Amino acid sequence: MSPDQTLRRLRCLPLLLLWLPGLCSAAASGASALFETLRDRVFQVRVVDIASGDKTTIGSGFRVDSAGLVATNFHVVSLLIHEPAKYRIELLGQDGLTRPATVLAIDVLHDLAILRGQQADGPAFGLTSGTPGQGERIYSMGNPEDLGMTIIEGNYNGLIAASRFERLLFSGSLNPGMSGGPAFDRHGAVVGVTVAKGGEQLGFLVPAAHLQALLRRANETAVPGDLKAEIARALLEDSNTFFDQRLQETWHRGRFGELSLPRDLSPSLKCWGQNTETKESDYSRFHQQCQSQEYLFLTEDFYTGDFSYSYEWLNAGRLNPFQFYTAVTHRYTHTSLENVDDAEQVTNFRCTTDFVRIDGTAWKASICLRRYLEYPGLNDASLVLVSLHSNRDAAIIRMAAAGIHRERALALFQKLMRAIEWTR
């Protein structure tokens, strides 16, 4: 930088120092005014254990019509939906009063719920049909860590690319307890519903369009229906749509070791690669793994919606055939589907193993499935294949899906096996 450039910048510095406090004051004033105007429209949502009378889960919610309908996240109230005899819901307002509430409608795919709060009527948030500009300031309100109602300033950063279940990116300090709260623009119009914290200054919102659709459905509902049946229907319909598309489309291909294999099976998957070969290694291995970035919350112990596949290529290096066989056998394992911790939610895996021929060579194949007990038609499914063509090289291929119809899982695995080709 030249001396003249430096001097010009220094001359501008006093003006900048005078200008910045004004900006900060204006921003603070805007947030303060919004908080004062909107605070009475936001509630702490409490799921209370009936036996003890203590809250078990907390989140946030906000009034979406003047008659007392309140929006929140499905995951905030899921305990009551699954065990209604054990829990009840309360709304804690800024006036310090608690009001009973009931679940009126849910959208498990987008993690939304509409509550009917008794005596919770009053001014409501409006829902915007548009979107802010990239980087535009937006605000989130909620009750983080049960510390009291707060307002958080952040920035709108658009729809997450290639998202299976649409999410907006919010750059701001969201915290547990704010789930289900509103995110709104400077006019107080809701652009999204707070759903998750992704890390420092990184959060996710459900677009307001999905809340508008659920609110229309809730307004047509006099009494709530069978919510668990609604969960099962929505999960199966979404899963069938997603995997039918995978089955019907033509898969792109790419070279991997001595194989030509399917690539880019869904835009919603993220892929990583790694080569583990080092000077100290007795054998070499490189692999690619592609996996969903989003999951569907059912309970604290049960998630679904995962889909992944991975490829490995191994070379014996300095190992003799027996040592290489041992190394390959050690790697020949199913993808770990650890999406459920409650044994009462799923059956045990049932597995079949066989030897098959793919593109003229022998492979060992294993398929495992387990059934969801409360969601008819859904299963967790896993495939693992290992090539038996050589005692110097081997390929291991895996695919796994959580929440898939049995017949679609088998069709998907068969399509994958038919797509494997040798390039030599």
Residue 107 is part of a domain; what is its CATH number? 2.40.10.120
Q: Are residues 238 and 212 both part of a single domain?
A: no
Q: Are residues 93 and 206 both part of a single domain?
A: yes
Q: Are residues 203 and 242 both part of a single domain?
A: no
Q: How many distinct structural domains can be found in the chain?
A: 2
Last-in-domain residue among 192, 223, 254: 223
Q: Are residues 240 and 95 both part of a single domain?
A: no
Sign of CA dihedral 370, 341, 44, 38: negative
Last-in-domain residue among 198, 223, 248: 223
8 Å CB contact between 48 and 89? yes
Q: Are residues 141 and 213 both part of a single domain?
A: yes
Range of the domain at 363: 233-422
294 part of a folded domain: yes
21 part of a folded domain: no
215 part of a folded domain: yes
pLDDT for the residue 14: 42
387 part of a folded domain: yes
Question: What SS3 state is found at 355?
Answer: strand
Q: Are residues 122 and 162 both part of a single domain?
A: yes
Q: Are residues 258 and 306 both part of a single domain?
A: yes
Q: Are residues 244 and 168 both part of a single domain?
A: no
CATH code of 285's domain? 3.40.1000
Q: Are residues 213 and 337 both part of a single domain?
A: no
Last-in-domain residue among 197, 223, 249: 223
Crossing angle (nearest 10°) for helices 227-248 and 406-418: 20
31 part of a folded domain: no
**Tokens, residue 106:** 């849910």
Q: Are residues 166 and 192 both part of a single domain?
A: yes
8 Å CB contact between 45 and 77? yes
11 part of a folded domain: no
One-character DSSP codes across 147-183: S--EEEEEEEEEEPTT-SS--EEEES---TT-TT-EE
**Model confidence, pTM:** 0.87
What are the pLDDT tens digits along the chain (424 aa)?
Answer: 444 444 344 343 343 333 334 434 444 457 888 888 898 999 999 999 999 999 999 999 999 998 889 999 999 999 999 999 999 999 999 888 899 999 999 999 999 999 998 877 889 999 987 788 888 999 999 988 788 888 989 999 888 877 888 898 888 878 788 899 999 999 999 999 998 776 666 788 999 999 999 999 988 876 777 899 999 999 999 999 999 999 999 999 999 999 999 999 999 999 999 887 655 578 889 999 999 988 999 999 999 999 999 999 999 999 999 999 999 999 999 999 889 988 889 999 999 999 999 999 999 999 999 999 999 999 999 999 999 999 999 999 999 999 999 999 999 999 999 999 999 7
290 part of a folded domain: yes
pLDDT for the residue 88: 96
pLDDT for the residue 146: 81
- What is the spatial distance between Cα 404 and Cα 337, in angstroms, rounded to a whole number? 13
Q: Are residues 333 and 399 both part of a single domain?
A: yes
- What is the spatial distance between Cα 274 and Cα 269, in angstroms, rounded to a whole number? 17
Q: Are residues 173 and 305 both part of a single domain?
A: no
pLDDT for the residue 99: 92
228 part of a folded domain: no
